[in-house]
Amino acid sequence: MTELRTPRLLLRQWRESDLDPFVALNADSEAMRHFPAVLTREQTVRAVKQAHSRIEENGWGLWAVEVSGDGRFIGFVGLAAPEFDAHFTPAVEVGWRLARDRWGNGYATEGARAAVAYGFEELGLAEIVSFTTVANGRSRRVMERLGMTHDEADDFDHPSVPPGPLQRHVLYRLPRTGSPRDPGSSPPASRA
Ligand SMILES: CC(C)(COP(=O)(O)OP(=O)(O)OC[C@H]1O[C@@H](n2cnc3c(N)ncnc32)[C@H](O)[C@@H]1OP(=O)(O)O)[C@@H](O)C(=O)NCCC(=O)NCCS
């Protein structure tokens, strides 16, 4: 099972002690502003179980993140395969959600760089995508810092989001470049 280390972070499998801080993060209306609703404890329990199983089955996924040497859970960063159909699926996305008191430190970008490198170098992906609501400027800035690019022609209505201001999503793409591996590999068969 893969753990990723960056200069400041450890991306690792989920632990039971992550649950309470993740419940608090998912109940924070500011952190969840670009989602249709905050999550209940039960929904968070389900999300942790799913993330845990994906990492166990595939060796990669949406990893729990802690600051190295601290041990405290600060959120998640990682790779997942969207489970809905859209013009860009099947695909592998890079995603993130951090506790609000950890924003503004570069942690999401740092963790995501490691996840993207893993996706290209270890999984052999040809492309990694990311998407969010049009108004989620913080998340879009992470995508831009990763070198991802946005084409308005890729924008889409998220099929799991009810009609309204949150439904329209921007899609960012990052092709693999300069990798010695074979170009054009498909996303891995094991879907997250
Ligand atoms: C999206 C989210 C992870 C972005 O968090 P963030 O803190 O803005 O992003 P980073 O961790 O990459 O930090 C970057 C910021 O830290 C600053 N920073 C401070 N110290 C830094 C350092 N040592 N290294 C790098 N950046 C640093 C950067 O200047 C940047 O600030 P700016 O955007 O104001 O210029 C966070 O807002 C979040 O969890 N939101 C809720 C969930 C969500 O919307 N997820 C995405 C849904 S698709």
- Nearest-atom number in ligand 1 for the CA of 97 is 39
Q: Whose CA is nearest to atom 41 of ligand 1?
A: 31
pLDDT in tens, 25-69: 999 999 999 999 999 999 999 999 999 999 999 999 999 999 998
Distance 146 CA to ligand 1 centre (A): 12
CA distance 190 to 192: 7
Distance 111 CA to ligand 1 centre (A): 11
| pLDDT greater than 80 at residue 7 | yes
Distance 182 CA to ligand 1 centre (A): 33
| Binding-site residues, ligand 1, Cβ < 6 A | 31, 34, 95-98, 103-109, 132, 136, 138-139, 141-142
Q: Which amino acid is at 85?
A: D
| pLDDT greater than 80 at residue 188 | no
pLDDT at site 191: 40
pLDDT at site 178: 53
Asked whether the CA dihedral 154, 157, 159, 165 is positive or negative, the reply is: positive
pLDDT at site 192: 37
Distance 142 CA to ligand 1 centre (A): 6
Q: Output the pTM of the full model.
A: 0.93
| pLDDT greater than 50 at residue 190 | no
pLDDT at site 177: 87
Cβ partners under 8 Å of residue 176, min gap 6: 120, 125, 126, 127, 128, 183
78-91 b/e with 16+ CB inside 10 Å = b? bbbbbeeebeeeeb
